[in-house]
Every structure is written in structure tokens, then in C-alpha cells.
Amino acid sequence: MTTAVFPGSFDPLTNGHLDLITRASKIFDHVIVAVGQNTAKRGVFTPAERVAFITTSTQDLDNVSVQIESGLTVDFLRGNHATVLIRGLRNSTDFEFEQGIAGMNRSLAPEIETVFLNADPQYQFVSSSLLKEVAQFGGDLSALVPPAVAQGLRDRLERD
């Protein structure tokens, strides 16, 4: 059985993320979506809220589970007996960035293979910072995020 991990901050979860999770679930026996905290950014949602959004949005994918991670991603993979690390690529800038991370992970854990999945063209322009900005000004994000996330963004930004 091959277990793969798709790590990210998922703040917020997008339809692009969901597309990658769905596609990975067709390739691997088990996919763990690992919700981490990006220390360089202030999050809109707590890790628990992000887990809830992902769990709800992937409830029809029987081989997908969601966990919070902290620390080194390769340690998380080892702790979950996973051998594949999934990363999504939107563009060449993502590739350059991810290539360095993949090299470091390979150095730390040669038994773990990084697999890159290209983003669906309809989501290649989507970034969490752009979504947050559009949401802050009341823009319609219904085609870009799951309904629960769109509502959560509206609710959170109205309070802040």
C-alpha cells in the first residue's frame, strides 16, 4: 500500500487544492492532507478550522484523511509510513521553489519520493493571498473555493 502526503497551509483551501487531492487519491492507496502552519504568514483560519474545511470537502474520497503537522515534513511522512510527498505546481516560479525543497527533502530522507502534479489551468492563477484580498473587498470566490470556505472567509473578514 502506498501512502502519500500532500502538505500545505491550506489557508484557505481552494478548488485547486481539491483538484490535486482528488487526482492524488486516484493514484495512491492513501492520501494524507497535512495541514501545517506557515510561520512566515499570519493565518486567517486556525489549523483546526482548516482541517474541518478539508474534511468536509473531501468526505466523498474514502482514501483521504486529514491531519495537522508540525516540524519537518519528512518526519511527518516517516511517522505515517508514507513514501511519497505530493506537491502542486502552478507555474515555473513554483517549480523553482519546489525543486529546492525537494532536493533538501531528498537529502534528509532519500527513501521519500517527491511527486509534482501540475495545477489544472483553470486554477493556475489562484493564490491564498490573492483570494484573501478579493474576499476582503467582497469579491465572489464561489468558483475558486468550496462553499464552506467562501462562507468562512466572509464571516471571518466581517469580524476583523
Average pLDDT per consecutive 10 residues, the chain (160 residues; last block may be shorter): 96 96 98 86 88 97 97 96 97 92 96 96 91 88 94 79
Q: What is the pLDDT of residue 160?
A: 58
Give the structural domain span for 25: 3-158
Closest among 80, 55, 96, 103 to 5, alpha carbons compared? 80
Which residues fall in the annotated binding site for substrate?
9, 41, 73, 87
The grid cell for 1 is 500500500
Total structural domains within the chain? 1
Which residues fall in the annotated binding site for ATP?
9-10, 17, 88-90, 98, 123-129
Q: What is the CATH number of the domain that holds 71?
A: 3.40.50.620
Q: What is the pLDDT of residue 43?
A: 83
Q: What is the pLDDT of residue 21?
A: 98
Catalytic center residues: 17, 41, 90, 128
User: Cα–Cα distance between 21 and 29 in angstroms, integer?
Assistant: 12
Angle of helix 128-136 relative to helix 147-159, nearest 10 degrees, comes to 60
User: Cα–Cα distance between 81 and 75 in angstroms, integer?
Assistant: 10
